[in-house]
């Protein structure tokens, strides 16, 4: 499917990273990190990366972007770039170019992820042969499912971050009333993301003190919560863990992900202790009438460095193994 060398890219709203897989079976070699605001378009950033990283010219490309891939040209949600596989292929003389949602490679990487690249949350052993879900709270909230399909693995992209979420008990109901809404909605991403941590902290402080509270940076919430220097921040992290467990359980039920739920993103690895000690697992399992099934589904945090690049390598090296949606352009003839 891909001619080597293969250019790979992980493109977000703020930063883009590019790498090169020089021959079949290799892992990507990082070329450069580029700031999207520093370049007028992706081809400019790719050209700069190739100049910095050196090596042979690419013959094909697969790029993962933080956004919905729904047409021949995709506008990044939080940046001015427009991504079109055909234009990039023509700019660099490539035989093919593929553009996918950023959680497609994370799901592909989960197919053969090693136990030492995971930190289990809960005592559940792995169960082979079933569907898996990968998700991640970070700047936003991404998720995808990896589903066995005949001899293949189908990767199902989702926009679960933009689905509505409500309170589960009386305390959460008070929090929900105090939460800042986004476009008059409270979605999964409104709560389970970096900005969501800031919103949750402000709401918890409001409920506990009876006074409106200014938002602080997500990193400040995490640090104060882990150090127990701010009781509202500590409570926020515990609430974040419980809500994350509930959403993980919902996704496990949605896809019958009996082979596990894998949590990536930038937040979970930093709050592992909270997830292990909070009500994360109890909220995950509280899914009557299927609580017994939920207790058998493993949940783990992905601790391997750079799961997106590893997944892009899996897609490039083992393309026939996976079925997935993406923008695909191939040179005629």
How many residues can be counted in the chain?
333
Q: Examine residue 13 and say whether the peptide bond preceding it is cis (omega within 30 degrees of 0).
A: no
- List C-alpha distances in Å: 33 to 100, 136, 312: 19, 21, 16
Mean pLDDT of the chain: 93
The DSSP 8-state label assigned to residue 256 in this structure reads T
Residue 183 is encoded by which pair of tokens?
């476009």
The more confidently predicted of residues 7 and 122 is 7
CB contact at 8 A, 211 and 259: no
Domains along the sequence of the chain with CATH: 6-100+312-330 (3.30.420.40), 114-303 (3.40.367.20)
| Residue range 284-329, pLDDT digits in tens | 999 999 999 999 999 999 988 778 899 999 999 998 899 998 888 8
* CA 39/CA 306 separation, integer angstroms: 23
* CA 61/CA 312 separation, integer angstroms: 10
Res. 66 pLDDT band, cuts 50 70 90: confident
| Residue range 168-215, pLDDT digits in tens | 999 999 999 999 999 999 999 999 999 999 999 999 999 999 999 999
Beta carbons within 8 Å of 305's beta carbon, 6+ residues apart: none
71 — phi, psi (to 5°)? 180, 180
CB-side neighbour CA atoms (13 Å) of 267:
29
The more confidently predicted of residues 13 and 34 is 34
Please report, rounded to a whole number, the percentage of residues in the chain having pLDDT higher than 90: 80
* CA 290/CA 326 separation, integer angstroms: 34
Of the candidates 62, 46, 60, which has an alpha carbon nearest to the alpha carbon of residue 98? 62
pTM as predicted: 0.91
Give SS3 for 152.
strand
Per residue in 107-119, is it b (16+ CB within 10 Å) or e — as a string?
bbbbbebeeebbb
| Residue range 74-124, pLDDT digits in tens | 888 768 899 999 999 999 999 999 999 989 999 999 998 888 889 999 987
CB contact at 8 A, 318 and 281: no
**How would DSSP label each residue in 52-109?**
HH-SSPPSEEEEEESS---SSSEE-TTSS-EE-HHHHHHHHT-SEEEEEETHHHHHHH
Res. 266 pLDDT band, cuts 50 70 90: confident
Rounded to the nearest angstrom, the gap between the alpha carbon of residue 327 and the centroid of all alpha carbons in its chain is 19
* CA 213/CA 173 separation, integer angstroms: 18
* pLDDT over 90 (residue 271): yes
75 — phi, psi (to 5°)? -85, 120
CB contact at 8 A, 61 and 94: yes
- List C-alpha distances in Å: 216 to 180, 229, 233: 13, 14, 10
- List C-alpha distances in Å: 229 to 169, 203, 234, 271: 26, 18, 8, 15
Q: Which pLDDT belongs to residue 188?
A: 97
Helix (H) or strand (E) run with residue 200 in it:
helix 194-209
């Amino acid at each position: 499917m891909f001619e080597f060398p293969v250019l790979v890219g992980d493109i977000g709203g703020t930063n883009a990273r590019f790498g090169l897989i020089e021959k079949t079976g290799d892992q990507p070699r990082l070329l450069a990190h580029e700031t999207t605001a520093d370049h007028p378009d992706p081809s400019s950033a790719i050209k700069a990366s190739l100049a910095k990283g050196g090596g042979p010219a690419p013959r094909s490309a697969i790029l993962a972007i933080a956004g919905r891939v729904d047409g021949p040209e995709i506008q990044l949600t939080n940046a001015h770039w427009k991504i079109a596989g055909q234009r990039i292929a023509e700019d660099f003389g490539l035989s093919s170019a593929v553009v996918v949602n950023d959680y497609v490679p994370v799901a592909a990487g989960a197919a053969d992820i090693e136990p030492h690249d995971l930190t289990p949350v809960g005592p559940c052993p792995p169960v082979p042969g079933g569907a898996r879900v990968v998700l991640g709270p970070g700047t936003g909230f991404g998720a995808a499912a990896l589903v066995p399909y005949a001899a293949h693995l189908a990767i199902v992209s989702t926009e679960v971050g933009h689905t509505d979420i409500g309170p589960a008990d009386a305390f959460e109901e008070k929090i929900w009333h105090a939460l800042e809404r986004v476009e008059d909605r409270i979605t999964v991403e409104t709560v389970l993301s970096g900005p969501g941590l800031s919103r949750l902290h402000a709401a918890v402080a409001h409920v506990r003190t009876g006074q409106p509270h200014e938002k602080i940076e997500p990193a400040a919430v995490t640090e104060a919560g882990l150090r127990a220097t701010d009781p509202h921040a500590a409570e926020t992290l515990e609430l974040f863990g419980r809500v994350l467990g509930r959403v993980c359980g919902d996704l496990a039920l949605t896809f019958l992900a009996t082979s596990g739920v894998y949590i990536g993103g930038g937040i979970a690895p930093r709050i592992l202790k909270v997830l292990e000690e909070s009500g994360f697992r109890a909220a995950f399992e509280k899914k009557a009438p299927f609580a017994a099934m939920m207790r058998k589904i493993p949940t783990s945090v992905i601790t391997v460095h750079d799961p997106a690049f590893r997944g892009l390598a899996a897609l490039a090296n083992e393309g026939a193994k996976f079925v997935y949606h993406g923008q695909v352009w191939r040179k005629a003839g």
